[in-house]
Structure 1
Amino acid sequence: MITVFGSINIDLVTTTARLPRPGETVPGSEYRLIPGGKGANQALAARRAGAVVKMIGAVGDDDMAATALAELDAGGVDLSGVQRRGKTTGMAVITVDDHAENTIVLSPGANAKLAATDLQEDAIGAGDTLLLQMEVPFAETLAAARTAKAAGARVILSIAPFLPVEREAFADIDMILVNETEAGDLARHLGLNPGSTGAETVAKLARELKRTVIATLGADGAVAATLDDTISVPALKVVPVDTTGAGDTFCGVLAALLDEGADLATAMRHASVAGSLACAKAGAQPSFPLREAIELSLGVDPAFP
């Protein structure tokens, strides 16, 4: 089983021909309200990939809460661990341009009130997976990691959005997920020189932190470094429409495959395809593929033997 301890948001999304410069107003489309939040995104991606998933998070007492939880509920994610905290549900204001690039401003709302004690000690056990991100208080995230690690669970941390993390914070983390930019930022924060490629950077991080480190590389796929090996997988070739949520899709699907016992290379192939498929549709959660679509794409693309 996968337990996700993390954020639940509403994404307010508008599209425009190009992203505005500071102080500039540009015309946009009709806005859409779409369920989001990195925690919720990863939970839904894992569930659609076939995992049993429980969400530990917080929403507000506002009208946005029902919308924020709608896709999770419809998708079969266990929401018994979701709390009502404060007046407002978290919101991300997202602008997407004609090249599928985006800017995001995040207001945390109830996410700022999530506590590690919301993860009950008897709710996670040996062989389970705890999936973490960086949109709820980091001290609570680390405390949740300690609880899960003590119970014998696998603990995966997605360092997104990026915050400088000290070495000691990884004590209870088994696997670190970053994108290529975040990998370089983490290396520099730890006093390392990033490599000339994503593979070199994650290899340096893995040796330094003695943890498996995985970086998504956009159209170039993804790369993982363990203490013994480096694994690279390609991306699926798609025409990008909106990259919002693609990294979360990768994280959720990776966790789902690992949780069911797949080896790292197999899990990464599935996750890379899923992340690519998510870029081909607008919005975050509505774009997350089902397991059948992932398997079909793996079967027809010669890049994935």
Structure 2
Amino acid sequence: MTAVSRRTTVCVVGGVNVDLVVRVPTLPSPGETVSGGAFTQSVGGKAANQAVAAQRLGALAHLVASVGDDAFGDLALAALRGEGVDVSRVRVRLGVATGVALICVDDAGENSIAVAPGANDLLDALPDDTTHFDATLCLLEAPDAVLIDTARRALGLLVLNAAPARAIPEELLSRTDVLIANEGEHAAIEHQLADFTGIVIVTLGSKGAIAQQRGVTLARATPPAVRALDSVGAGDAFCGCLVVDLARGLPIAEALERACVAGALATTALGAQSALPRADAVTALWRSSGSG
């Protein structure tokens, strides 16, 4: 049986939050109070979002994370199960709060985010069965020891989303096949990449993304024009789509194009997880935009 004749398996390691979102005309400056509009509450966290993205794109997504034994933790697990994500490796921490993200989204779809990590910081030992996946996607939301242990165990493709921006443990970096970072994250770690032999994907917002290896450009892609409402889930849609397609064996140029399409589609609806696109929508827009 080949990888394309069965559902691709993806393990995502990182954080789970509950997102508390307020829409505002403009993002507040320091010391400024801005009167907003609608308030929404939903499940987020980069790892949780990217697991849902992978699941909606046809993969079997497994999440390794930690939540608290509170109402937000119950909400998060129920929502992830509802999406079909395997949460059997999500630990529930007694007496600890689930992570929370406070998000402001302006009328242009731009956002600012503050996070209280809560139980995310307490993720420690990995379950034994975190080895045999087609791809493992790590995020810097998780503690270094967990990320390094994950990298040592991973037998398939190992992808690192360098978010949030911080230094990357050298052993983790040395074992990484593909690194994904936005421009700010890339600038923060560029000094670490001099000897990195894997593929570096830099996302450029509305300008698309570029793939490089040892300073050589492998591919560039730009997203199709869409009416953007909310950019909060775009990066997670991009990462989820890219990892699934690379794990399926798609060429880097094609995977990059499709990831840009997924990211663009995620901006056309409000919210993070609620806006993540499904495989048929990505393929349809990818083909209609002249790429497929």
TM-score by shorter chain over 0.5: yes
Q: Post-superposition shift, 1:185?
A: 2.3
1:184 equivalent to 2:164? Answer no
SS of equivalent residue, structure 2 residue 185? helix
Distance in 2 (CA, whole Å) between partners of 1:82 and 1:164 is 25
Aligned residues of 1:119 and 1:144 also touching (Cα < 8 A): no
TM-score (norm 2): 0.91
Identify the residue that residue 56 of structure 1 maps to in structure 2.
Answer: 64
Aligned residues of 1:38 and 1:133 also touching (Cα < 8 A): yes
Structure having the higher strand fraction is: 2
Identify the residue that residue 162 of structure 2 maps to in structure 1.
Answer: 159
Identify the residue that residue 278 of structure 1 maps to in structure 2.
Answer: 266
1:214 equivalent to 2:221? Answer no
User: Which consecutive unaligned segments of at least 5 residues does structure 2 have?
Assistant: 1-8
Distance in 1 (CA, whole Å) between partners of 2:265 and 2:76 is 22
Aligned residues of 1:131 and 1:156 also touching (Cα < 8 A): yes
Distance in 1 (CA, whole Å) between partners of 2:46 and 2:169 is 21
SS of equivalent residue, structure 1 residue 88? coil
TM-score (norm 1): 0.88
Aligned residues of 1:167 and 1:209 also touching (Cα < 8 A): no
The superposition leaves residues 118-143 of structure 1 with CA deviations (integer Å, 9 ceiling, x where unpaired) of: 232x3422x62110111121232122
Identify the residue that residue 127 of structure 2 maps to in structure 1.
Answer: 119
* Match for residue 261 of structure 1 among 249, 255, 258: 249
1:11 alignment partner AA = D
The number of equivalent residue pairs is: 282
SS of equivalent residue, structure 1 residue 271? helix
Q: Post-superposition shift, 1:159?
A: 0.5
Q: Post-superposition shift, 1:261?
A: 2.1
Distance in 2 (CA, whole Å) between partners of 1:4 and 1:279 is 22
Distance in 1 (CA, whole Å) between partners of 2:144 and 2:156 is 19
* Match for residue 131 of structure 1 among 133, 137, 161: 137
Q: Post-superposition shift, 1:51?
A: 0.6
SS of equivalent residue, structure 1 residue 118? coil
Tell which deviates more after alignment, 162-171 or 90-99: 162-171
The superposition leaves residues 7-54 of structure 1 with CA deviations (integer Å, 9 ceiling, x where unpaired) of: 111000001111112112111123211110011011000111111111
Distance in 2 (CA, whole Å) between partners of 1:66 and 1:257 is 31
- Provide the alpha-carbon RMSD of the alignment: 1.6
Q: Post-superposition shift, 1:229?
A: 4.8
The 3 A distance-change label for structure 1 pair 62 and 22 is same
2:254 alignment partner AA = T
Distance in 2 (CA, whole Å) between partners of 1:108 and 1:185 is 21
Within 5 Å, give how 1:1-305 maps onto structure 2. 1-86=9-94, 87-115=96-124, 117-120=125-128, 122-125=129-132, 128-148=134-154, 152-165=155-168, 167-187=170-190, 189-190=191-192, 205=193, 208-227=195-214, 229-302=217-290, 304-305=291-292
The superposition leaves residues 68-114 of structure 1 with CA deviations (integer Å, 9 ceiling, x where unpaired) of: 23332122111111110132111100011112111111011111111
Q: Which structure 1 residue ranges, 4+ long, deviate > 6 Å from structure 2? A: none
Identify the residue that residue 5 of structure 2 maps to in structure 1.
Answer: none
- Aligned sequence identity (%): 38
Distance in 2 (CA, whole Å) between partners of 1:119 and 1:226 is 33
User: Which consecutive unaligned segments of at least 5 residues does structure 1 have?
Assistant: 191-204
Q: Post-superposition shift, 1:167?
A: 4.3
Aligned residues of 1:47 and 1:256 also touching (Cα < 8 A): no
Q: Post-superposition shift, 1:156?
A: 0.6
1:66 alignment partner AA = D
Identify the residue that residue 201 of structure 1 maps to in structure 2.
Answer: none
Q: Post-superposition shift, 1:166?
A: 5.3
The 3 A distance-change label for structure 1 pair 138 and 29 is farther
Aligned residues of 2:151 and 2:172 also touching (Cα < 8 A): no
Distance in 1 (CA, whole Å) between partners of 2:171 and 2:83 is 36
